[in-house]
Amino acid sequence: MESTHDESAEDGRGERRVLVVDDEPNARNALTALLREEGYAVRAAPDGYKALGLLKEWPCDVLLTDLRMPLLDGISLMQKAKVERPELVCIVMTAFSSVDSAVEAMKAGAEDYLTKPLNFDAVQLVLERAFGRLGMRRELETLRAQRKQRDKTRLIGNSAPMQQVVKMIDQVASARASVLITGESGTGKELIARLLHEKSNRAAHPFIRLHCAALAESLLESELFGHEKGAFTGAMGRRKGRFEEADGGTLFLDEIGEISPNIQVKLLRFLQEREFERVGGNQTISVDVRVVAATNRDLQEEVRAGRFREDLYYRLNVINVLSPPLRTRRSDIPVLAQHFVARFAAENAKVIHEITPEALERIQGWDWPGNVRELENVIERAVVLCDGQRIELRHLPDELRGGQAFVGGDIRIPGSTLEDIERFAILKTYESTGGSTQDTARILNISPRKIQYKLKEYKQ
């Protein structure tokens, strides 16, 4: 009795998944059974189209397919499969008399071939070679990803505010205490969290990130703590949460100020007792996780307003790291801009050597309400539009080229609109009060709600 899906296929070493495709039932079933006995996770399909369907739902490592099949032959199957899964290792099986077809398949992308009738020792040898190559490729990809991440995980700039951040990271990286990173959107709070992890004694363990504002309360609870089978509609099996995934490492909770009161209670319990239960479960689970949280909200104000628990605030804010806005470290802007030019030029296969003095003056003079993220976006756009080897003024957005209201942090009078002056007054006051909406509103004699509205408008 044949089946394109067998639950027993989930047994075995999950990293060694093989899809067997053969239109001859006896050969297919025999090969599938032998591979499972050897510990492989195997599924089987009687034709190429069913195999393509299985590949969409089951991420196998190796496609072991017969060459001559009705409906869709092995070469066509392999070509279609590799469009969706370029990393898939393909091995073809063919009758001894059709070795020429096997050579054709190798030219089309197959990595090896087997002749029928199959010798199972030969099958095992070919599969071991395939998984060996696959392992080396994955190791190389991991090393490349780590190198790329290291390049990204750098705080660029030597201004006083950045020196203060680097000093704080060095001082607290190895501590177990929770860290709260505060600062405006786009200032690089996740980068600081990653550096805290990489410089700690947890660096060899996972760094797990969760954006708290992106999920509804029920989903966020499941993401954090995991769930048991049947805990809610759609919970088809047990699932580990981010706390379990981060065991031994760091859990970064971005936008922590957005979590609901119910999640706040459960997070507080973990920070106090270092244990939790999965949703729908009663087993108490203990893990060793350092929590690093980030927010662009004024959490003290949220506490005063009753929207955030005071006890949780103090548990999270054992160590505070302020991620400074870009306008307070203007000396870093040229270095950051050149860094982004080099990065995006490489990504777009362009040769761009510099930013012209005129363009750099506008870039450095802009107030960057969106901070480093906005600068990154502007430079990427400029690199894409650049048709030479220099970023020029004409490659910058209109607001930087002609609508600039801030130069070196000062307002232009004449030359600025009332809207420009209002924006300048609000942002400068907000900066001088250390990011306090209430104090900014009091000094400017306008409502806190208007300040919040304007700040949100400026970040868009």
| Confidence label for 8 from pLDDT (cuts 50, 70 and 90) | very low
Q: State mean pLDDT over 265-269.
A: 94
More confident call, 287 vs 101: 287
> What pLDDT shows up at residue 340?
93
CA distances from 116 to 2, 40, 85, 278, 458 (A): 21, 21, 27, 50, 69
Q: How far apart are CA 194 and CA 199, in angstroms?
A: 9
- Confidence label for 358 from pLDDT (cuts 50, 70 and 90): confident
Q: Of the spans 138-152, 223-237, 409-423, which averages the highest pLDDT? A: 223-237
For residues 215 and 223, is the Cβ–Cβ distance under 8 A? yes
Confidence band, pLDDT 50/70/90 cuts, at residue 408: very low
The C-alpha atoms of residue 378 and residue 372 are separated, in whole angstroms, by: 10
Residues in Cβ contact with 45 at an 8 Å cutoff, skipping those fewer than 6 apart: 4, 19, 20, 21, 51, 53, 54
Does 450 have pLDDT greater than 80? yes
Q: In this structure, are residues 168 and 321 in contact, taking their beta carbons and an 8 Å threshold?
A: yes
Cβ neighbours of residue 340 closer than 8 Å, sequence gap 6 or more: 375, 376, 379, 380, 383
CB neighbour class for 57 (10 Å; exposed up to 12, middle 13-18, buried from 19): exposed
Average pLDDT (109-121) is 84
Per-residue pLDDT, averaged over 304-310, amounts to 95
Q: Name the least confident of 103-107, 134-138, 262-266.
A: 103-107
- 109 three-class SS: coil
> Rounded to an integer, what distance in angstroms lies between the CA atom of residue 122 and that of residue 106?
18
**Does 448 score more than 90 pLDDT?**
no
How many angstroms separate the Cα of 72 from the Cα of each of 25, 51, 55, 78, 92?
Answer: 16, 10, 15, 10, 14
On the question of pLDDT at 259 being above 70, the answer is yes
| Environment class of 250 (CB within 10 Å of its CB; exposed 0-12, middle 13-18, buried 19+) | buried
Do the bridges between strand 390-391 and strand 406-407 make them parallel or antiparallel, or are there none, so unpaired? Answer: unpaired
From the list 368, 339, 320, the residue with the least C-alpha distance to 165 is 320
The secondary structure of residue 224, as a DSSP letter, is H
Taking CA 133 as the corner, what is the angle to CA 130 and CA 138, rounded to the nearest 5 degrees? 120
Between helix 189-198 and helix 160-172 the angle, nearest 10°, is 40
Question: Rounded CA gap, 216 and 452, in Å?
Answer: 23
DSSP string covering 119-156, please? PHHHHHHHHHHHHHHHHHHHHHHHHHHHHHHHHHS---
pTM for this predicted structure? 0.59
- Helix 418-432 with 437-444: angle, nearest 10 deg: 130
Average pLDDT over residues 148-164: 75
Which of 234, 251, 102 lies closest to 178, judged by CA?
Answer: 251
Is-contact 355 391, C-beta < 8 A? yes
- Give the DSSP per-residue string, 246-305: TTTSEEEEETGGG--HHHHHHHHHHHHHSEEE-BT---EEE---EEEEEESS-HHHHHHT
Is 324 within 8 Å of 187 (Cβ atoms)?
Answer: yes
